[in-house]
Amino acid sequence: MNIEKLKLLVTTVQKLSLARDIETITDVVRKAARSLTGADGATFVLKDNNMCYYVDEDAIEPLWKGQRFQMTACISGWTMINKKWAIIEDIYEDYRIPIEAYRPTFVKSLAMVPIRTIDPIGAIGNYWGNKHSPSPEEMFILQSLADITSVSIENVYACNELTEQNKSLYDIAFLQSHQVRVPVVQIQGLFNIFNFEDLQHPDNPEIFRKLKTVADSFDEIIKDITNMTSKLKFNKP
């Protein structure tokens, strides 16, 4: 691998490590896939149930951005189903290619790699306007990029899940603390009807003094819970 490609791959890894949403990942990957292999086009595909969703692309001419195809009707689906890459030097001579979908495009040759080989969640495709057979180095780079991409996507999903859990915890704690605080405030209000000095009078039952202490203490605990849940709301991953 030449030094320029190595630098680009390292930069790409750094960008992906900081990505916090799928949009950022697709933007980084589509550009890197094309540049790293000198392709005329690159596309980023995600598995959507039994469909292949062509999320984004970077190409000299439009390809299939925003479109969905059956897994069994496109080469990206074949790559995910078989869990291995595909190299097609001539798209018009390969049975796996839906010719009518490719005919309006510039594509003559392609290489497609799965994003995660154990249980693919997508694919990255590279396309050439002239007949081209990618070298082992180019395929290694493309598959490495796909493997890095899979980790980045999993990190984003994990962060999103934690954020949703935090939000749920906040909502529950907020609701509970406010529901509980209502009767506590009512109890305190009842005590305020009385003069606190009168509550200290020896003729007043001891239970009143204890109830006042407990109500005040309970109110402080609820305030602490409310403060903690407020911090939880804003400290998102």
pLDDT of residue 78: 97
Q: Between 22-37 and 3-18, two packed helices, what is the crossing angle to 10 degrees?
A: 170
Residues 6+ apart with CB under 8 A from 231: none
**51 strand-pairing partners:** 48, 70
DSSP-derived pairing of the beta strands 86-88 and 109-115: antiparallel
pLDDT confidence bin for 237, thresholds 50/70/90: very low
3-state helix, strand, coil in the chain (%, to 5): 60, 15, 25
Task: Judge whether 79 and 85 are in contact, CB under 8 Å.
Answer: yes
Residues 6+ apart with CB under 8 A from 216: 188
Residue 14's SS3 state is helix
Locate tokens 């190299």: which residue?
87
Count of residues for the chain?
Answer: 237
Tell me which residue of 217, 219, 198, 199 sits closest to 208, measured CA to CA.
199
pTM of the entire structure? 0.68
DSSP for residue 116: S
Q: What is the mean pLDDT of the chain?
A: 81
Tell me which residue of 158, 169, 182 sits closest to 228, measured CA to CA.
169
Q: Average pLDDT, stretch 117-136? A: 93
Measured CA angle at 60 (ends 86, 64), to 5 deg: 60
At 59, which helix (H) or strand (E)? strand 51-59
Task: Judge whether 184 and 216 are in contact, CB under 8 Å.
Answer: no
The CB density around residue 101, as the number of other CB atoms within 10 Å, is 17
Q: Average pLDDT, stretch 4-27? A: 85
Burial of 4 (0-12, 13-18, 19+ CB in 10 A): exposed
Q: 10 or 216: whose pLDDT is higher? A: 10
pLDDT of residue 1: 61
Q: Average pLDDT, stretch 125-137? A: 94
pLDDT of residue 235: 46
Q: Between 22-37 and 136-193, two packed helices, what is the crossing angle to 10 degrees?
A: 170
Q: Residue 185: is its pLDDT beyond 60?
A: yes
Q: Average pLDDT, stretch 70-87? A: 95
pLDDT confidence bin for 2, thresholds 50/70/90: confident
Q: 68 or 20: whose pLDDT is higher? A: 68
Locate tokens 């407990």: which residue?
214
